[in-house]
Amino acid sequence: MIPERYRIPEKWKGASLLLSYYDVEYPIYMAQMIASYGEEYTRNGTINGFTMQQKIAGVTYFALKEQGYSVSLREFSRISTVDSKIISKIAKRIAALSHQPWILSNVSMAKTRDSILNQFSFISREEKTALSSFVEYVSRVYEDINVQFTEAMIRSAIWIGAKILDCRISLPYERNRAKMCGILKLDKNCLSDYDMGDIMNGIRMNKNEDNIIGKE
């Protein structure tokens, strides 16, 4: 008899079958996690309107990507016999609600961000931590407007953050810098006049002025 803590709800057992096609380190744990995600996102309405088979495929695909497994959407669609557009739609809804939009991108946001920051050995640990937090903040802003956060955007966010901190780093020019400043409601020409903590709290105040420029 299977102990209660290892049991997977009957309706989510299809996830175990899909996982069997991948070299998953802890398949029972993964299947339980998928079932837990599925129940949670069904309760809050995120994945309502889909069949059970579609839910299992979408949630399993998201969970595999979240855990860092290399998964081809086309191949996963073939294995699950669920249309790739439906799998992607479900996975994107979960990624958005869990504030992890980069998971479904070909770019790993955290790895790319850290790889770029590690190029600059002269900046302090505190500055790296602040820049990391700023990149995450910007990624959430882009998530809220349903725009994929690309590698070029990560570089632009680091550049903007470095300017705010008055930290001298050199990065290739990105055309989206000005647009990103506009989305963040920042004046591109006086970035060092802002406080990063205020920006992430939704406040836009120039250090050289007495009044708040704007609040999101």
Domain boundary among 63, 78, 98: 98
Task: Look at the chain and report how many structural domains it folds into.
Answer: 2
Do 209 and 114 reside in the same domain of the chain? yes
Q: Which residues of the chain have pLDDT under 50?
A: 1-5, 209-216
Residue 200 lies in a domain: yes
Cβ atoms within 10 A of the Cβ of 183, count? 15
Do 93 and 130 reside in the same domain of the chain? no
Give residue 68's pLDDT: 77
What angle do the packed helices 52-66 and 73-80 form, to 10 degrees? Answer: 150
Do 115 and 209 reside in the same domain of the chain? yes
Do 123 and 26 reside in the same domain of the chain? no
Give residue 107's pLDDT: 62
Do 116 and 177 reside in the same domain of the chain? yes
Domain boundary among 46, 68, 98: 98
Residue 61 lies in a domain: yes
Do 61 and 132 reside in the same domain of the chain? no
Full residue range of the structural domain in which residue 25 is found: 9-98
Do 94 and 114 reside in the same domain of the chain? no
Sequence-distant (≥ 6) Cβ neighbours of residue 104 within 8 angstroms: 62, 65, 88, 91, 92, 95
Give residue 216's pLDDT: 43
pLDDT digits (tens, 9 = 90+) for 12-27: 999 999 999 998 888 8
Give residue 71's pLDDT: 86
Residue 49 lies in a domain: yes
Do 150 and 94 reside in the same domain of the chain? no
Give residue 214's pLDDT: 42
Q: How far apart are CA 42 and CA 11, in angstroms?
A: 13
Do 119 and 57 reside in the same domain of the chain? no
Residue 4 lies in a domain: no
Q: How far apart are CA 118 and CA 32, in angstroms?
A: 36
Structure pTM?
0.54
Do 73 and 13 reside in the same domain of the chain? yes
Do 126 and 192 reside in the same domain of the chain? yes
